[in-house]
Amino acid sequence: MLSKKASCESHGQDSSYFLGWQEYEKNSYHEVQNTTGIIQMGLAENQLSFDLLESWLESNSDVLALKRKGRSVFRELALFQDYHGFPDFKNRLVEFMAKLRGFKVAFDPNKLVLTAGATSANEILMFCLAEPGEAFLLPTPYYPGFDRDLKWRTGVEIVPIHCTSANDFRITACALENAYQQAQKLNLKVKGVLVTNPSNPLGTTMNREELSHLIDFAITKKIHVISDEIYSGTVFDSPSFTSISEALMEASSDDADVCNRIHIVYSLSKDLGLPGFRVGMIYSYNETVVAAATKMSSFGLVSSQTQYLLSNILSDKKFTGKYIKENQRRIRGRKEMLVAGLRGAGIKCLKSNAGLFCWVDMRHLLSSDTFEAEKELWKRILFGFGLNISPGSSCHCSEPGWFRMCFANISQETLRVALRRVEALVESMDSTKASTLRNATSTTSGAGGDNFNHHHHRRTVRNSRRSWSLSKWVLPSPYDDHETADR
Amino acid sequence: MAIEIDDHQQPSVELSKVAVSETHGEDSPYFAGWKAYDEDPYHELNNPLGVIQMGLAENQVSFDLLEEYLEKHSEASSWGKGASGFRENALFQDYHGLKSFRKAMASFMEQIRGGRVKFDPERIVLTAGATAANELLTFILADPSDALLVPTPYYPGFDRDLRWRTGVKIVPIHCESSNNFQITPEALEAAYSNAEAMNIKVRGVLITNPSNPLGATIQRSVLEEIFDFVTRKNIHLVSDEIYSGSVFSPTEFVSVAEILEARKFKDSERVHIVYSLSKDLGLPGFRVGTIYSYNDKVVTTARRMSSFTLISSQTQHLLASMLSNKAFTENYIKINRERLRKRYEMIIEGLRSAGIECLKGNAGLFCWMNLSPLLDEPTREGELALWNSMLHEVKLNISPGSSCHCSEPGWFRVCFANMSELTLQVALKRIHIFMEQLRSSTLASNQDYSGCRFLVLQVARQPI
């Protein structure tokens, strides 16, 4: 009765990424009201700098009241549905984007297309650049949402470019070529590569070598490059951020035509912490793409009320300069707190210089070097220790044992609580490791995982010095007579 | 960025077919007229000889009511003094949408229908405009190369919204002036057979009620027939009720929701309603559309798909406040209706006294004008020639029926709510003089309307 798109699973809502979210929704941690609830560390939001925005809003109340110099602009805004967007807003956006790139590049507002979030921007680019059944190459691990955003309604396929911890998950020329060959084997025509830079979930920026490989690859294969630079404002440490726009300037001597195939995606959801306002954009050097994407943006325009507000915020150069710096400082502080806390528990992270999360190495906590073991560990962390973190498999990582942990969407105090739970987790693993060795019958199946929890729960309560902290949030096993977690 | 692009180089990788196709429909006269207006827009003082825009179905008659509300209720535009208001709202990107907003929307839709039906806020899916809602529904209800049946004449934007990225086709249900363009069972069957003959699978019927461009509501008996038809064929029914709040008389609109309630929701899982605040509240810039579906799977899927087209939470917050204020909404609906009716009567009277008849309308922001007696040849070319003159000589941008896929030439959609009363009178005056000149000269038979060249000057010099 419904279309194939409606019936298929490509919306990806059955992956662990979303399941963890669901569990969190059922039992959310609260500093006061629900201290045994699940702490959300699977959501890459930036909640660190709202106070700066709030104080700006307080001093600029006429903007909220839709007034300009005392005169109401309500009518103008209410009627403004031009898909070219507010010229003033686009001017401010390209200035802001240039600022984030240290003014090493300049952007033309006429090449900017506004969309309802980066989600919409990425999908629009797929519609513009590929036919159903064609493919884009994406380095793994990648943002789980791409499976839906790039594939669902467009019919485009994703072929992974496998990156490994052997070289800190950097994209190599070899990996690019392998992915391309793999696509050929699958009879898929490759239309381009999509990278996220800074990377989600790695939290690292691409180095010049990687960018150079990428552009060479695009030139040789005559394909597109989409660079999703949504985290460009969250770079808090060296090395500094190199946008593809910069790399392009250096590469242009090799092939001027390649810039017709370079497109940047950006959004205010991460840098300014405003995901609810739905402000995304495509910057393309290709006029035909700009024209087509502009028309397509009709299906997801940015509210004129919101364009007006943000246009005003971004025009306050003093404010934005201050905001960018302070925001980056706070992100760095949080990241260091998480990294130090994890280190204390014997857990390492990939060295990162950007993003709102860390890429955490828990391979040593796996019962075996498999994705089943990773899933078990993830469930144990979620149900046994009340932390929703994203398992690497949901990001299509080729090595089991890596997890993404977000640190900017919770308070400092909550982060401390989370770190204590991580310590408890590690301690419980130390003691269960001993009992696992004794217990040759430990299972690795999904159902067995629950038994694992239950079976070892009683042992760990006995063995752990912190048994009180376990019993508070370990969910009752199926064999107990307690109420379920559906509170 | 100082990269020079060599114009003579061939692009070395193609873009998708969708990107380069013409299905966005932007080359039709609908848009050409817009362009002419943009280049020479009428202004009472600064450009009295300019083109008057009568091709834009916007509602500008009730802004004062909205502005008054905002003045009195600053909390709608801001988030209060508490720390959590702004940040909670700024973070809110849940595709379920703000609960308070969905409730307010459901209640507003009920009020428009005089409380004759109930809407469940849990069935409301929010999208950035009805444009997005219609495309989204098409993705959900049909596969590429399937078809939706749409009665003609229809809103030109549907060619893009329903077809462009979805790959779905539109097969027209031909309606004729002989019965006031009403949809008949025969026309429905004919369209269906037509599709079958072309080996195209029909997935649903999409109606706009009240109709754009007719400016008339669909009668209850016709709605019943349409519903019976889709049930018999086991296909969907999408009812775009975007103009439901713009019906001049409160009792004349029957929503498909009423038909379903009367039948105790039997077979209702095939029905989906589209709505938006762009026309009734005059807020197209805010991008507020909704899908109301009686089908659980459609609701769930549409909700997930709405991720690509969410409404700004800032805007949801503003409108939740406004629309949950019953005193405001009741007053607004009432006054908006009255003002639209008054405008409608003004234009109908003005046209009639110029010797032009319109389809009897009772809703919307436009009237459906019959200029077929003026055509030298009853063809699309004849219509376009007349349209050209209206645009370049009379300086009125109106929409030719052919851009709405009307099967009879000579009909035009004329908008009346997107300008001041004074401007409307200037437009009517121009039409008056144009008609006088036609009657008094033989130029019409040569399809040479160039005698109208000084028409706008004459009007500009006359007192209204």
Amino acid at site A102: G
Strands B202-208 and B236-240: parallel
**How far are the Cα atoms of A134, A157, A174 from residue A187, in angstroms, in the given order?**
9, 11, 20
A108 in contact with chain B, both atoms CB, cutoff 8 A: yes
Report yes or no: A300 and B128 within 8 Å, Cβ to Cβ. yes
Per DSSP, A381 falls in state: I
pLDDT value at residue A6: 83
Residue environment code for A205-221, b if the CB has 16+ CB neighbours within 10 A, otherwise e: bbeeebbbbbbbbbbeb
Q: What percent of chain B has pLDDT over 90?
A: 82
Nearest CA in chain A to B26: A295
> Letter for the amino acid at B402?
S
Residues within 8 A of A (CB atoms), B 136-175 only: 139-144, 146, 160-161, 164-165
Q: Is B51 helix (H, G, I), strand (E, B) or coil?
A: strand
Task: Tell me if residue B267 is catalytic.
Answer: no
**H-assigned helices in B378-448:** 380-392, 421-440
Whether residues B160 and A72 touch (CB distance < 8 A) is answered with no
* Cross-chain CB nearest to B309 (options A53, A107, A300): A300
Query: Which of the four pLDDT bands, split at 50, 70 and 90, describes residue A475?
Result: very low
In the prediction, which pLDDT does B445 show? 47
CA A234 to each of CA A143, A175, A238, A358, B364: distance values in angstroms, whole numbers, following the listed order: 16, 27, 12, 13, 49
What is the model's pLDDT at position A445?
40
Amino acid identity at B145: S
Gap between the Cα atoms of B245 and A457, Å rounded = 61
Task: Report the distance separating Cα A391 and Cα A77, nearest Å.
Answer: 44
Q: How confident is the model at residue B110 (pLDDT cuts 50, 70, 90)?
A: very high
Select which of B37, B154, B155, B332 is catalytic: B155
Task: Output DSSP code: residue A382.
Answer: I
For A108, residues 6+ apart whose C-beta sits below 8 A from its C-beta are A94, B1
Q: Do residue A303 and residue B128 have CB atoms under 8 angstroms apart? A: yes
CB spacing of B314 vs A305 below 8 angstroms: yes
Spatial strand order of the sheet with A390-391 comes to A348-349, A357-361, A402-406, A390-391
**Is the Cβ–Cβ distance between A37 and A30 less than 8 Å?**
yes
Q: Which of A1, A119, A306 sits opposite B312 (nearest CB)?
A: A306
Alpha-carbon distance A76 to A65, whole Å?
Answer: 13
B128 contacts in A (CB within 8 Å)? 116, 278, 299-301, 303
Cα radius of gyration (chain B) = 23
Residue A436 reports pLDDT greater than 60: no
| Chain-chain contact of B139 with A153 (C-beta, under 8 angstroms) | yes
Q: What is the mean pLDDT of chain A?
A: 88
What residue type is B322 in one-letter code? M
The closest alpha carbon to A161, from A119, A101, A242, A221, belongs to A221
Mean pLDDT value across residues B25-48? 83
ipTM of this complex: 0.92
Across the beta sheet with B236-240, what order do the strands follow? B124-127, B289-293, B271-276, B236-240, B202-208, B147-151, B169-173
Question: CB burial class (10 A; 0-12, 13-18, 19+) of residue A180?
Answer: buried
Residue A186 at interface with chain B, using a CB cutoff of 8 Å: no
d(CA B434, CA B258): 44
Considering only the beta carbons, identify the residue of B78, B79, B90 that sits closest to A273.
B90
pLDDT at A466: 37
Question: What pLDDT digit, counting tens, does each position of A81-130 carry?
Answer: 999 999 999 999 999 999 999 999 999 999 999 999 999 999 999 999 99
Q: How many CA atoms lie within 13 A of B397 on its CB side?
A: 24
Instruction: Answer whether residue A254 shows pLDDT above 50.
Output: yes
Please report which confidence band the pLDDT of residue A263 belongs to, taking 50, 70 and 90 as the band edges. Answer: very high
Residue B448 CB contacts under 8 Å (≥ 6 apart), including other chains: none
Mean pLDDT, residues A148-170 taken together: 97
Is B70 part of the contact surface with chain A (CB cutoff 8 Å)?
yes
Number of H helices, E strands in chain B: 17, 13
For residues A468 and A199, which has the higher predicted lDDT (pLDDT)?
A199
pLDDT score of B275 more than 70: yes
User: Phi and psi of B245, rounded to 5°?
Assistant: -85, 0
A390: phi then psi, degrees, rounded to nearest 5: -95, 120
> Can you read off the two tokens belonging to residue B132?
């997005």
Span B166-207, pLDDT tens digits: 999 999 999 999 999 999 999 999 999 999 999 999 999 999
- Residues of chain B in contact with residue A53, where contact means CB-CB under 8 angstroms, are 86, 90
Q: How confident is the model at residue B17 (pLDDT cuts 50, 70, 90)?
A: confident
Q: Are A278 and A251 in contact (CB under 8 A)?
A: no
Strand order across the A280-284 sheet? A112-115, A280-284, A262-267, A224-228, A190-196, A135-139, A157-161
In this structure, of A55-59, A444-448, B280-284, B448-452, the range with the lowest mean pLDDT score is A444-448
pLDDT in tens, B221-264: 999 999 999 999 999 999 999 999 999 988 899 999 999 999 99
Query: For testing the chain B interface, which of A193, A303, A323 should be mutated: the one with the most B CBs within 10 Å?
Result: A303
pLDDT above 70 covers a percentage of chain A that reads 86
Amino acid at B23: T
Residue A347 has a pLDDT of: 97
Residues facing A68 on adjacent strands = A71
CB pairs under 8 A between A and B: 237
Pairing of strands B124-127, B289-293: antiparallel
